[in-house]
């Protein structure tokens, strides 16, 4: 069989598809193709279970003629939106997908009525391949870091003498502001951590990373210095990863790390919490302000708090967080 898996974006959502890729390859022997946006190339191009990666550069129309020539036996649609439905019609082959729980999420966000199945999205993704009698293998997520990315981070760690000391990683970035920890919370965690803290993020977090590293000798700023794979390599050597609900959280889970996840306006009940292998010795601790009646205010995130207070993050105790960071 030749099967095309579709997931257009984003970082975490793509990482969460990796059990489907692995299990489908190992249990059916299928030739696996994967379609995503070009900016997420580095996340999947080193995956040994994928035969060929396809990328959308400007729009989906640009890749359709080539995909038609492949004559796929089936499509596994793990994005399930209007664009993926349009592609399915163009390729004219059987397609399988999963339950996105849009109604249940809408009820939870707008009316706080909980009809969610409290089931991780990985297990819902796996529903898309039941047709071939493929089942989840309990091995967690995959993330494959190329050797050149590891070398660059080794140079960074050696320069700051962090290899010998050990360190934690604090992820500063998130796609939405309502998910991001605020400056004071991050600063107190850095200052009171028993181990040095490496700060990771993209160009958007560079200013905050510089400010934090200038304010604390315990902070080592890597924001904007590494791509996704480089940041993953830093996470891979860390003792613990402190992170908001974002793509790097799922990369940390794929690398089987001890994770402290900080949740703002979104909730773990949507099924996107850290997904560790069943045999893992790593720990996943969720930190959230459960007292708020306005939470969740969105299934994804927002540029700003609709209530103007951002208490979902500001209400989190940094003392509690520090204790979790320093616990052995």
Q: Does residue 172 surpass a pLDDT of 90?
A: yes
* 301, 279 contact by CB (below 8 A): no
- Which among 156, 76, 34 has a CA at the least distance from the CA of 42? 34
The pLDDT value recorded for residue 253 is 98
Q: Does residue 328 surpass a pLDDT of 90?
A: no
**In terms of C-beta density within 10 A (0-12 exposed, 13-18 middle, 19 or more buried), how is residue 116 classed?**
middle
pLDDT in tens, 135-153: 999 999 999 999 999 999 9
What sign for the dihedral angle of Cα 244, 250, 252, 257?
A: positive
32 — phi, psi (to 5°)? -100, 125
What is the pLDDT averaged over residues 165-182? 94
pLDDT, mean over the chain: 96
Maximum separation of any 2 CA atoms in the chain, in Å: 59
pTM above 0.85, yes or no: yes
Cβ neighbour number for residue 304 with a 10 Å cutoff: 10
pLDDT in tens, 199-211: 999 999 999 999 9
Percent of the chain with pLDDT over 90: 97
CA distance 149 to 308: 40
CA distance 247 to 255: 13
CA distance 131 to 164: 49
Residue 275's contacts (CB-CB under 8 Å, 6 or more residues apart) are 16, 120, 122, 140, 141, 250, 253
If you search the block for the tokens 């891979």, which residue do you land on?
236
Tokens of 102: 């849009």
HSE-up of 325 (CA within 13 Å, CB side)? 27
Structural domains in the chain, CATH included, are 2-132 (3.40.50.2000), 147-326 (3.40.50.2000)
In order of 104, 166, 267, the CA distances from 290 in angstroms are 19, 32, 9
Q: How confident is the model at residue 2 (pLDDT cuts 50, 70, 90)?
A: very high
pLDDT in tens, 61-79: 999 999 999 999 999 999 9
Tokens of 250: 């799922």
């Amino acid at each position: 069989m030749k099967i095309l898996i579709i997931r257009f974006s984003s970082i975490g959502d793509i990482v969460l598809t990796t059990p489907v890729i692995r299990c489908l390859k190992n249990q059916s022997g299928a030739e696996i193709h994967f379609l995503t946006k070009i900016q997420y190339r580095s996340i999947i191009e080193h995956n040994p279970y994928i035969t060929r990666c396809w990328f959308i550069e400007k729009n989906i129309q640009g890749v359709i003629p080539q995909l038609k020539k492949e004559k796929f036996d089936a499509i596994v649609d793990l994005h399930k939106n209007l664009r993926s439905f349009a592609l399915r019609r163009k390729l004219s082959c059987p397609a399988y997908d999963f339950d996105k729980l849009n109604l249940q999420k809408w009820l939870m966000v707008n009316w706080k009525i909980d009809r969610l199945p409290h089931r991780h999205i990985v297990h819902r993704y796996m529903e898309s391949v039941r047709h071939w009698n493929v089942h989840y293998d309990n091995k967690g997520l995959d993330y494959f870091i190329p050797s050149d990315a590891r070398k660059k981070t080794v140079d960074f760690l050696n320069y700051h003498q962090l290899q010998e000391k050990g360190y934690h990683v604090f992820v500063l970035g998130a796609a939405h502001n309502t998910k991001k920890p605020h400056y004071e919370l991050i600063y107190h965690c850095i200052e009171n951590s028993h181990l040095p803290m490496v700060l990771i993020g993209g160009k958007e977090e560079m200013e905050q990373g510089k400010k934090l590293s200038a304010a604390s000798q315990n902070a080592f700023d890597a924001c904007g210095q590494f791509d996704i794979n480089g940041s993953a390599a830093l996470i891979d050597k860390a003792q613990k990863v402190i992170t908001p609900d974002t793509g790097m959280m799922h990369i940390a889970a794929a690398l089987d790390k001890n994770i402290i996840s900080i949740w703002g306006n979104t909730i773990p009940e949507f099924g996107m919490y850290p997904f560790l292998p069943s045999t893992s010795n790593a720990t996943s601790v969720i930190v959230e302000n459960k007292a708020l009646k306005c939470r969740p205010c969105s299934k994804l995130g927002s540029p700003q708090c609709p209530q103007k207070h951002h208490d979902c993050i500001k209400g989190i105790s940094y003392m509690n967080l520090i204790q979790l960071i320093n616990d052995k």
